[in-house]
Amino acid sequence: MGLDFAYLFAMLGTFVYVYALTFDTRMIGFLSHYKFSVYLDFFPAFFLFINGFTISLSLRNSRVSVRKVLSLINRRGLILLVLGLLLCRVWNMNLLVLCGAMYVLAGLIARWNNNVIMVIIILFMSAGHAMLMLGVPTSVTFVAPHVEKGIFMMLRFVFFNGYFSILPWCIFFLGGLLLGREDVRPRGIFPPSSIFGFLLIGLAFVAEKYFNLYDADFNPYSRINPAFLNVKFAMSGFVFFGMGSSIVALNLLNYFFRKGSGEKIDIWVQQISSTKYSAIFLHALLGFLMLKISNVHFFNPLPIRITMIVISIPLIFVGLIYWKKKVNKIGPVEFVIKRISDPNKK
């Protein structure tokens, strides 16, 4: 149940962050692959970390064939990838593309040795830095390029220049994949893995000192209020910080949820977390509709946009709970995934 609560926590933070970036035009300059926000970018990093962690746990289930689980993961990834790409024309900052790509990748490497996956993580970090040094544009965009602009533009959007592109976000997914292979039984508020997490956070500050040479964050318009949100790390520093803070946050949430949750809260959290991909899908569609509505002069002021965001996120979750009670026990996107990826299972 603590894992379900962690999913909910990560989703809520990601939705608020993405809506804020989309509806407040002052924050567009805040996006960069040179620098990542310590506070805001943590949420999508945590969400991806939990996804990788969950896949490793599912592979440890001795009652299910590993080959079958990997086959289902591959098919689930392809479905999410297609759904995400279809949404790219109306809502470009969607996690479905990235989650789909990561699930396909997991189906290929989930049984590989830990050391090999560590090498892949290092190679991904190196590739990200190489792109920065080679001058690959990092003006991160919401807008998926048209096909007529060329396949290179499309690949750049998916692999590097889209905000939730494969680089560097897949690194957090792979980190969760590795942690899920370890002994993850609850061991108090600060288990041994949390100590490792704090070491990674410490390394983030060291990396920030030595990898700050390529900092191009001199744009005065990239600053927002409140000021503490402007605390940023370069790519390497943020990878260490995001990985370490995800480990610590997962252990803390798991500990406190086990201590303080009740039966009704457990059921509600489980209902929401089990429909996470439906929530992402609806979040994208609702965000697109709100973006169109907000172009009307009456809805243009920022306070009204914030009010729309505050109302819309609970509506997504209430709608999904209603769906599960009245229509189907699983969410709409999860239902599609289940029917396509495992048509023999009722």
- When pLDDT is averaged across residues 113-133 and rounded to a whole number, the result is 83
Domain boundaries, the chain: 2-341
273 within 8 A of 279, measured Cβ to Cβ:
no
> For residue 215, what is the DSSP state?
-
Mean pLDDT highest for which of 25-29, 52-56, 255-259? 52-56
Let me know: does 143 contact 92? Beta carbons within 8 Å: yes
Distance CA(269)–CA(271), nearest Å, equals 5
Instruction: Tell me the pLDDT tens digit for each residue of 208-222.
Output: 777 665 554 444 445
Residue 8 or residue 267, greater confidence: 8
Phi, psi dihedral angles at 35 (to 5 degrees)? -135, 140
pLDDT per residue over 279-335, tens digit each? 888 877 777 777 666 655 555 566 776 777 777 788 888 888 888 888 888 888 888
Contact in structure between 46 and 245 (CB atoms under 8 Å): yes
Q: What is the structure's pLDDT at 269?
A: 77
- Report the chain's mean pLDDT, rounded to a whole number: 76
pLDDT(159) > 80: no
| Cβ neighbours of residue 129 closer than 8 Å, sequence gap 6 or more | 211, 214, 235, 236
**Per-position DSSP letters for 80-129, written without gaps between them:** HHHHHHHHTTT--S-HHHHHHHHHHHHHHHTTS-HHHHHHHHHHHHHHHH
Three-state DSSP state, 324? helix
Chain-centroid distance of CA 325 in Å reads 27
pLDDT at residue 77 tops 70: yes
